[in-house]
Amino acid sequence: MQPDEILKNQLNYRHTLSQDGKYASELSTYLQITIANSYFVIPISEVGEVSEFLPIRPYPSEVAGHVGVINLRGKVIPVISMEQFGGRKESKPNSRIVILNTDTTASNSEQLALIVDSVKKISAPSAESGNVITLDNNPVRVLSGGLILESWGIKPCSR
Amino acid sequence: MAENDDLLPEFLAEAADIIEKIHGDLEKLPGAQDRSELITAIFRNVHTLKGSSSMFNFSRTKSIAHELETNLGKFKESPQTLNDPEIQYIRDEVQKIDELLKAKDQLDLVPGTLNSPGEPSADTRADNKELLPAASKTPQATVNATEEYIRVTVNRVNETMNIVSEVFLIRNQMVYLVDRFKSGNLDQRDFFQTWDMLDGALRRGVGELERSTMSMRMMSVQGLFNRMARSVQSYSAKTNKKILFQTVGENTELDKKILDVLGEPLIHLIRNAMDHGIESPSDRIRSNKPEIGTIILSATISGNEAVVEVKDDGKGIDAKKILASAQKKGLDVSHVTDDQSAIELIFLPGFSTAETVSEVSGRGVGMDAVKTSVTSLSGKVTIHTEVGKGSTFSIRLPVSMSLAPVVLIDIKGLKYAVPTSDILETKQVPFSWVKRNSGFDYVNFRDKYVKCIDLRSIMDAEEKSHEENMRSCSIVFFRTSNETCAARVSSFERNTEIVVKPLSGLSPNIPWVYGVAVLPTGEAIFVLSLAKILEEFEVTNAA
């Protein structure tokens, strides 16, 4: 089975079609990320920055969905696992780190980090997170920090 | 005007003291035998405020003080005419002067914070703007106004001076020692022995100097709490609500910088509690509650954090109502999944509108401003509420930005920190000192066996290449609330000082992790609570 077909099967997607059957014409800027041969896009407005790979400090106790923390210029940011989206546990030496700004509750705005294989800035039809857009004739799912946290059932708490 | 600008910060600091004294005297008035003496003291202080306000062209402050002075003159003549309503009148007028001067203070110090919570009414601001065009326009004036003051007792300064002189003496001894060594009057062994001793004394001296200097920045929350008490008194006098105001932990000390900013969010929370939290006496009786509502303001220290709470026994916050109100106002509620996230909508900018504005709590400024103030101090604000029972707003703040001394330990090749204050002793002990019985390890500590947990088996991390001492084990002895215990680690690294930060709200909640710190090498490490690990380990074992 081709990777594209696997992706199609994996995703329960909804195309953002307008009434006349054409794709919505409005374009948005996304960060396209690659994780183990799967492609996803994240709205650029959610992306804080993309960093070279940084050493990850694992938590003293293993918790599902959590990889550990990184030190980004003195700020300690939690790394969230992408295993739900086909990511591996271990990272490749040339992996990148994507920092997302999440505004998941009214009282908290936190940052999270993801380990990805590669990144690219692209323009594509606007769509809500969780939806699927077509990119180079391939279905690609729109992700967001909130969606990734939700996939693990992680709820932000105040500390 | 330029000369006056130089004096302005000094005047504002002095005025705050005078206002505090007036309030103190007002407290004593009802029960005082010789009232005329107290009235004279208040009169004199109000007169001073009037004179200084006039010097700085604060016309509104001056006119309030003038009118108050005239009335105080009358009370001085006939002290018997001074009853509760009159005392309240004086209190209110002094409060007005206080707010005007504080607004003046903010206008100069932080030009962008005109919309902060609890700010004086629009006409007050207009008054200040109009009166001080030069101060808000010239950069020179702004620079002068940013001078801040800390009140420090002479004893604390003398204490610091003593430490400085000790450090200076040690430095001279070091110079003398090096000279003797260079001239060949001292052999190498003696030189290093004395050097080590002096180095140890110098370290202690510098440590004491740091503590002493930091302590100068620390101030008790008492003054702040008194201000809040006055606010409640003045509110009760104006409305039919009966409120009992209690304070807990008035001696808790916080960094002055934190204390200065904390006042505004706190007064906003208390006004909210009085206005929207506590019900009217008739409503309270209908709900089978005591007629008098209670607001408790407390401050406690928990680890490296101070927790300031405003707790009321009022009607609580109804999540459904908040959600409906937010939807009506067109706010984004897409992230609301449960009651807690609905209640937290009150922190959104634009949630507080004219509908919720009242004379007391509402100035069109919402809880978002409270959140912004607290966040600016690296703190967090949370709500716990129960409909019909009341609400608790908790503000968590760092006590100070000082460093925490820790011992770095190694567990399976990964570094962790344990606060030195938690540790009794660190020791390499022979294997034979560790005994196993009934599923627990015990280790000999001062001729007594104490429970020992093995952190190497508790931590999930995979064993990294690490050379452990094969002949003895590294044990950290610590005390829980009621016993001495021990924890086995792979090895000890060193003592150091770190800034402990709380974990991100997205990190998992591991109860035995105090927080996280970054070492000079850039490595992020977790700070552990050994007592809580023991608690967790015992629970797991029992299960």
CB-CB: which of B335, B516, B526 is closest to A105? B335
Who wins on pLDDT, B109 or A69?
Answer: A69
- Nearest C-alpha of chain A: how many angstroms from B508? 7
> Taking the model in full, what pTM does it have?
0.47
B364 conformational bin, left if phi > 0, alpha if psi -120 to 50, beta if neither: left
Residue A50: pLDDT above 60? yes
Task: Give the chain B residue whose CA is nearest to the CA of A60.
Answer: B459
Residue B64: pLDDT above 60? yes
- What is the sign of the dihedral through the CA atoms of A23, A27, A31 and A32? positive
Chain-chain contact of B344 with A63 (C-beta, under 8 angstroms): no
Least confident of A89-103, B192-206, B346-360, B497-511: B346-360
ipTM higher than threshold 0.90: no
Average pLDDT over residues B434-440: 83
Q: What is the mean pLDDT of chain A?
A: 79
- B510 vs A contacts (CB less than 8 Å): 59-61, 63
Q: Given strand B513-518, what is the order of strands in its sheet?
A: B491-498, B404-411, B414-419, B524-528, B513-518
Instruction: Identify the pLDDT of residue B403.
Output: 59
- Nearest C-alpha of chain A: how many angstroms from B376? 13
- In this structure, are residues B523 and B417 in contact, taking their beta carbons and an 8 Å threshold? no
CB-CB: which of B416, B504, B508 is closest to A77? B504
How far is Cα B222 from Cα B417, in angstroms, rounded to an integer?
34
What are B376's two structure tokens? Answer: 């600016």
Tens-place pLDDT, residues B342-384: 888 888 877 764 444 444 444 334 688 788 778 767 677 889 9
Average pLDDT over residues B301-312: 83
Average pLDDT over residues A129-139: 88
Instruction: Identify the pLDDT of residue A159.
Output: 60
Tens-place pLDDT, residues B76-126: 888 777 888 888 889 889 988 988 887 765 454 333 333 333 333 333 333
Who wins on pLDDT, B173 or B537?
Answer: B173
Most confident range, picked from A4-8, B134-138, B423-427: B423-427
Instruction: Identify the pLDDT of residue B235.
Output: 80
Is B369 part of the contact surface with chain A (CB cutoff 8 Å)?
Answer: no
How far is Cα B45 from Cα B38, in angstroms, rounded to an integer?
11
Instruction: Identify the pLDDT of residue B470.
Output: 65
Who wins on pLDDT, B504 or A9?
Answer: B504
Instruction: Identify the pLDDT of residue B396.
Output: 84
Query: What are phi and psi for residue B409, nearest 5 degrees?
Result: -120, 160
Chain-chain contact of B461 with A58 (C-beta, under 8 angstroms): yes
How far is Cα B423 from Cα B445, in angstroms, rounded to an integer?
13
Residue B161: pLDDT above 90? yes
Average pLDDT over residues B490-519: 85
